[in-house]
Structure 1
Amino acid sequence: MFVILGATGKIGRATIGVLRQHGLPVRAVVRNLAKADDLRALGCEIAVADVSDGPALVEATKGASAVQVICPTLVQAEDALAGMKATIDTVARALAQTRPAHLLAISDYGAQLPTGTGITLAFHHLEARLRTLPASLTFLRSAEHMQNWSRIIGRALQTGILGSLHHPLSKSFPTVAAGDVGLIAADLLMSCGGDAPRIVHAEGPRCYSVLDVAEALSATAGREIVAQEMPRQDWIPILTAGGLSLSYARLVADLFDAHNAGRIDVEQGAGETRKGKTELHAVLSALVPLAQKTAGRS
């Protein structure tokens, strides 16, 4: 039995689709049963559990041969990193009880670094906690998700300016479609095994700069979108105005400081890199109509 935490997310759904295409048994773990109809239609067993609910997680992962683990994000928590670490500890304690043979963790580029990486410190903690468990481990470290641009596309369409925390605008960086991460995860789950932790880096078919993003967004939206660096002193106010807690906004700022310093990358000499097939323009082509529709309702 393959148990997928975060089954209703883009990564989880993509993983489940491949596993079910191969006729493999899947238990999809969801927080909201109302969002599980399509997963049930695929032939999944459904379990309801929040990743912060230890007893529910124990029930959800009983009898699992492999579990796909996610790292929760707490964007409005007063102490976001402490909250994410506490949730990871809850997941790890549950898995210590049910003892699946294989664990695949959706991790992050830079998770090998113990300091100075903001949100990525939660993924460092995730990997460290899972290393204490008696299971075959796979750490699937994902590059930045292309879908993250959805947070500011609406503003860019309104103003014609694509603000970015990536500095400089011309610097290329790896990015990947979330669904492609799920496809890679499914392949790894079907071939997992071995004693040493397996490290796999997931990124898209090529790297992009913010200038590339603005060009692709312009072509998709049918209007000129100009990339612009957000001044460092404006990051926290802009992020908190967008709904993030001060704690989470500081983690985001620390992460982009590390990005811009060139610290967020594959771990040299460790693991392998797999590339998804989805190009940025395909993701933006799906995101722009949603942003336009939302803007039309406001």
Structure 2
Amino acid sequence: MFAIVGAAGKHCATPVCQVKAILRDESKAGRLTEIGCEIAIADLLDSKALAKAIGDAHTVQIILPPSPQAKDPAEEMRRGIESLASALEEARPKLVLAISDYGAHITNDIGMPTLCRTFEERLSKLDCHKVFLRSAEHMQGWGRAVPRAIESGTLPSFHDPLDMVFPTVSAPDVGAIAADILLRPASDNLVEIVHAEGPRRYSANDVAAVLSELLGRTINAEAVPRSRWKGAFESVMSPSLAELLIKANDAQNEGGLVDVEPDAKEVRYGTTELLDALRPLVLPQ
């Protein structure tokens, strides 16, 4: 039995074996039921319910999603880390694969990757085999800027300089890589760290060029001034979550910081190009 906590997200691949999808919102069960998943309902912050939902699963895949609706998403994520760890200590699976983040190896506070570092450190205490799958920034994240680009012809970017390439990956590719890792023979190492990114790296200018190709007209990237970041983020999210993303973008713009950990033993590459990842966001079916 494979249990997936957060199975309604974009990292979930089509199951090829017995899979239990653990959700907090039963309304999202339809697609997962159709592809053959058993469904269990549990809230991320209810460790007892989570442990019961995990049950006797041999393998558990987990993700720690931010909750933009929460008053303090960062604090809720910290509570979620402890709840997940407590549930796993009670359920005692043999293998845990946790979706983490590029930059989780950095020791100073760089926002969201630092929360993933805390996540990894807490799960490292579990008495089982652990795989931390560190995902690069998602290509689909640009979808938030697509309406503005279509309307104005300008793609706002928090990546600066605009020609600096950075690691990025299509979210479904992360799910496929995770599934492949879970189905391979177990390693002798108690903790494995695997990085996942796309077939090549892109800059903000590359994103604008792809949008231009999809739309059939010129789209130009434009860096959002650093002085406007706080207002831009807080207009759509809580100050707590905005702070995490501001720190992460500052680190990303240093170049080479939010990246593969030095001396990393394994980097996996997805197959989805940026053009294919953005096409359904620009030209929805």
Structure-2-length-normalised TM-score:
0.96
2:162 matches 1:162: no
Partner of 2:226: 232
Cα offset for 1:76? 4.1
2:115 matches 1:122: yes
Give unmatched runs, 5+ long, in structure 1: 294-298
2:135 matches 1:139: no
Cα-Cα RMSD: 1.3
Match of 2:49 among 41, 46, 56: 56
Taking the aligned partners of 1:238 and 1:138, their CA distance within structure 2 comes to 35
Partner of 1:267: 261
Local SS of the residue matching 2:134: strand
Taking the aligned partners of 1:210 and 1:95, their CA distance within structure 2 comes to 39
Taking the aligned partners of 2:125 and 2:246, their CA distance within structure 1 comes to 30
Taking the aligned partners of 2:115 and 2:252, their CA distance within structure 1 comes to 16
Partner of 2:70: 77
**Within 5 A, what are the aligned runs for 1:198-217?**
198-217=192-211
Q: Which amino acid aligns with 1:91?
A: L
Partner of 2:4: 4
Taking the aligned partners of 1:289 and 1:270, their CA distance within structure 2 comes to 37
2:94 matches 1:108: no
CA contact (8 A) 1:175 1:207 kept: yes
Taking the aligned partners of 1:38 and 1:74, their CA distance within structure 2 comes to 22
Cα offset for 1:90? 0.4
* CA deviations over 1:28-81 (Å, ceiling 9, x no partner): 111222221221122211101121121210111110100001012022433332
Match of 1:171 among 139, 164, 168: 164
CA contact (8 A) 1:71 1:122 kept: no
Taking the aligned partners of 2:208 and 2:267, their CA distance within structure 1 comes to 26
Cα offset for 1:211? 0.5
* CA deviations over 1:236-293 (Å, ceiling 9, x no partner): 101111x111111111110010011121000011231010000000011111134xx9
Q: Which amino acid aligns with 1:11?
A: H
CA contact (8 A) 2:128 2:190 kept: no
Taking the aligned partners of 1:277 and 1:104, their CA distance within structure 2 comes to 21
Q: Which amino acid aligns with 2:2?
A: F
Match of 1:27 among 20, 38, 42: 20
Partner of 1:296: none
Q: Which amino acid aligns with 1:147?
A: Q
Partner of 1:286: 280
Taking the aligned partners of 2:105 and 2:219, their CA distance within structure 1 comes to 36
Give unmatched runs, 5+ long, in structure 2: none
Cα offset for 1:86? 0.9
Residues paired across the two proteins, number = 283
